[in-house]
């Protein structure tokens, strides 16, 4: 058997392993069932890829993320290692040929989703393969209390029946102690070796910062920390707006979201990884499988939806072990916005029952029938037909997909796209002769930032609501704009393919998964509450808060997070000293609070309290331009 370090040098050009990698690899090569709990950036994939390369046969890799599967397969293929992924949309004959290649074609890795594993043809062919290892990526998905539970993960242990002598390695970046126990139990492990990396990232400063003007604060942060950055936002529109703002300030910035083309994604990723445009403004889809070592700053413009996702996203900074910063910007409305976005749109059991009944009626599925039937599905039309609120309906369909009642194709999304082909001045001239189209044009411009520069996905129902036009009239007007050469317009009558996995039984179908739905909703509520607790806890070290959340018992403060820095500043600068500094500054000229904070040694919260106190004592006052000045 070839030595692991030789394989590492040949394919990865590294001469040594990262902490714990070698021990995990040794455990796997000794045919031990193994759980590797390594933080983001810890190099989990190498822990199963090298043992699989060292032994004869093929490694079966279970992964929930199509994008991550594709990234890893592409990376392996570029190294000359034969690998394939069974993604969605494969025809039966394509699937048949690919599985045969795994048996006879000397492939080393087969990636597939846990749902794909349920197919009889897949199980039959895996049984005939010379399997040398079973790797379960994102293993926390197996737990009903994990951060991204997928019921299909519960059935992975059927691989034990197909290949009882093959060991399993389970890998995850974020798992609390109770999740670890469930992983080991549900995978039917035998005397498992568990490797836990510390959740401490000593080189990362975790900072929570209040900012009513987030654009200004981003500018200030990037002036101070000029290294490569990722700025995470919640919406595609925000990614375009913030990137444009930074470009106007002289920064080399670009943006990344699901609405840009594959070529644009590749080009922008290249520009960012090669530091041609070191600032990437992106939705949270960006970063999966990307290992750029020199990222200095991660900025979250919106509150993260869980501490699990935040820890992974923040962990993309400082992988070169240099000083790095993970910053959350919050304002007074962020907590309510987070609850509104993720909790108010949670579908309960009764709502999912209603959606399931309407879905069956929409496709005219009779009782006891429908199993394995596939249909082209227009989400917009479905919502319009039954007057459904789109976000909670979308979440309900995701619950049905996650719990294997239905299957939605990976392309499930709005497929209507628009881009303006003429400049704004020419558009104004056009509108003067086409007044009946002005309302729709205004709605497009005000709703979709960057629509002059990019072909963007649009929501026909949303535009119909804003313009008070029928959906058919909106489409008709868009076609006229297309015919006049004003826009590029791509419209699909179907968003996705929907397959009914279970026969129609209405309430009985949903009752079987009701406990899971309730648990998923409870989990999401707990995650949101944990995020809010984290951002508001200004007395306990932020690094310790994260470590304790993941069950790591430690008491050593980091000394560099926003809490530790605030405590240090408070201890160094008394209220009297700060007041004296403010008075000396204002003797020179009136200053706003931002400029005062830049020159005074205290935290922002402390400064606000002192300024309020000084105004109450009439030592200072506000000018008409919101600058502070001395009263005498």
Ordered by start, the domain boundaries in the chain are 4-196, 204-332, 342-413+495-523, 416-490, 573-630
Domain 342-413+495-523 shares a fold with domain 573-630: yes
Looking only at Cα atoms, what is the longest distance across the chain?
89
Q: For the chain, count helices (H), then strands (E).
A: 27, 21
Please identify, in words, the CATH class of the domain defined by 204-332: alpha beta
Site of tokens 């926003």: 562
Tabulate helix, strand, coil % of the chain (nearest 5). 50, 15, 35
d(CA 631, CA 429): 54
pLDDT of residue 573: 57
d(CA 454, CA 488): 10
d(CA 496, CA 410): 8
d(CA 98, CA 497): 22
d(CA 58, CA 288): 24
DSSP-derived 3-state class of residue 283: coil
What tens digit of pLDDT does each residue of 249-292 get? 999 999 998 777 778 888 998 999 999 999 999 988 787 667 78
Per the CB < 8 A criterion, the answer to whether 380 and 471 are in contact is: yes
Site of tokens 């890799």: 61
d(CA 501, CA 24): 38
Strands (E), 301-403: 324-330, 374-377
Site of tokens 């399931």: 356
pLDDT of residue 110: 96
| DSSP assignment letter at 406 | E
Strand partners, 58: 131
Q: How many CB atoms lie within 10 A of CB 1?
A: 8
pLDDT of residue 191: 92
Interacting residues of 357 by C-beta distance below 8 A, sequence separation 6+: 506
What tens digit of pLDDT does each residue of 488-516 get? 988 766 557 788 988 999 889 999 889 88
Q: In the chain, which stretches have pLDDT less than 50?
A: 410, 412-414
Site of tokens 């009558």: 493
DSSP-derived 3-state class of residue 152: helix
Exposed, middle or buried: residue 432 (CB in 10 Å: 0-12, 13-18, 19+)? exposed
CA 148, distance to chain mean position in Å, is 11
Q: At the topology level of CATH, where does 573-630 sit?
A: Arc Repressor Mutant, subunit A (1.10.10)
The DSSP secondary structure of 458-499, one letter per residue, reads E-HHHHHHHHT--HHHHHHHHHHHHHTTSEEEE--S--EEEE
Please identify, in words, the CATH class of the domain defined by 4-196: alpha beta
Please identify, in words, the CATH class of the domain defined by 342-413+495-523: mainly alpha
pLDDT of residue 257: 85
């Amino acid at each position: 058997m070839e030595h692991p370090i030789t394989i590492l040098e040949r394919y990865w050009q590294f001469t040594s392993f990262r902490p714990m990698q070698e021990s995990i690899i040794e455990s796997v090569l000794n045919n031990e069932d193994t759980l590797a709990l390594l933080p983001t950036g810890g190099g989990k994939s190498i822990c199963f890829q090298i043992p699989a390369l060292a032994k004869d046969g093929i490694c079966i890799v279970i992964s929930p993320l199509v994008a991550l599967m594709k990234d890893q397969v592409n990376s392996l293929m570029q190294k000359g290692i034969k690998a394939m992924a069974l993604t969605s949309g494969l025809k039966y004959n394509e699937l048949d040929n690919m599985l045969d290649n795994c048996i006879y074609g000397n492939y080393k890795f087969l990636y597939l989703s846990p749902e794909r594993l349920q197919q009889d043809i897949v199980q039959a062919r895996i049984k005939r393969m010379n399997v040398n290892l079973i790797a379960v990526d994102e293993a926390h998905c197996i737990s009903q209390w994990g951060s991204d539970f997928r019921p299909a993960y519960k059935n992975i242990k059927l691989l034990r029946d197909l290949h009882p002598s093959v060991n399993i390695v389970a890998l995850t970046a974020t798992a609390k102690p109770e999740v670890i126990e469930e992983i080991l139990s549900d995978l039917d492990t035998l005397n498992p070796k568990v490797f836990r990396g510390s959740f401490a990232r000593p080189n990362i400063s975790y900072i929570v910062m209040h900012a009513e003007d987030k654009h200004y604060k981003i500018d200030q942060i990037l002036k101070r920390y000029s290294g490569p950055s990722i700025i995470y936002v919640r919406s595609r529109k925000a990614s375009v707006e913030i990137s444009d703002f930074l470009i106007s300030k002289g920064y080399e910035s670009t943006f990344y979201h699901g609405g840009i083309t594959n070529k644009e994604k590749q080009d922008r990723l290249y520009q960012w990884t090669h530091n041609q445009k070191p600032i990437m403004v992106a939705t949270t889809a960006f970063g999966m499988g990307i290992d750029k070592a020199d990222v200095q700053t991660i900025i979250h413009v919106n509150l993260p939806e869980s501490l699990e996702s935040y820890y992974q996203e923040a962990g993309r900074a400082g992988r070169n072990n240099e000083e790095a910063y993970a910053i959350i910007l919050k304002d007074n409305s962020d907590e309510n916005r987070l609850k509104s976005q993720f909790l108010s749109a949670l579908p309960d059991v009764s709502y999912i029952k209603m959606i399931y009944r309407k879905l069956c009626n929409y496709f005219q599925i009779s009782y006891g029938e429908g199993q394995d039937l596939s249909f082209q599905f227009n989400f917009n039309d479905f919502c319009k037909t039954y007057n459904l609120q789109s976000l909670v309906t979308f979440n309900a369909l995701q619950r049905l997909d996650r719990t294997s009642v239905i299957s939605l194709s990976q392309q499930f999304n709005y497929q209507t796209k628009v881009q303006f082909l003429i400049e704004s001045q020419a558009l104004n001239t056009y509108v003067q002769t086409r007044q009946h189209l002005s309302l729709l044009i205004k709605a497009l411009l005000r709703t979709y930032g960057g629509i002059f520069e990019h072909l963007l996905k649009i929501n026909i129902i949303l535009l119909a609501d804003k313009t008070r036009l029928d959906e058919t009239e909106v489409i008709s007007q868009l076609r006229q704009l297309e015919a006049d050469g004003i826009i590029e317009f791509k419209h699909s009558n179907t968003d996705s393919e929907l397959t009914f996995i279970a026969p129609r039984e209405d309430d009985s179908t949903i009752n079987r998964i009701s406990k899971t739905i309730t648990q998923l909703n409870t989990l999401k509520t707990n995650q949101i509450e944990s995020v809010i607790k984290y951002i508001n806890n200004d007395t306990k070290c932020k690094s310790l808060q994260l470590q304790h959340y993941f069950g790591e018992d430690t008491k050593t403060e980091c000394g560099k997070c926003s809490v530790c820095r605030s405590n240090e500043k408070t201890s160094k600068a008394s209220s009297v000293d700060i007041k004296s500094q403010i008075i000396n500054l204002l003797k020179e000229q009136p200053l706003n609070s931002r400029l005062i904070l830049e020159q005074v040694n205290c935290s922002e919260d402390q400064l606000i309290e002192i300024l309020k106190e000084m105004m109450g004592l009439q030592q200072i006052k506000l000018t008409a331009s919101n600058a502070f000045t001395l009263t005498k």
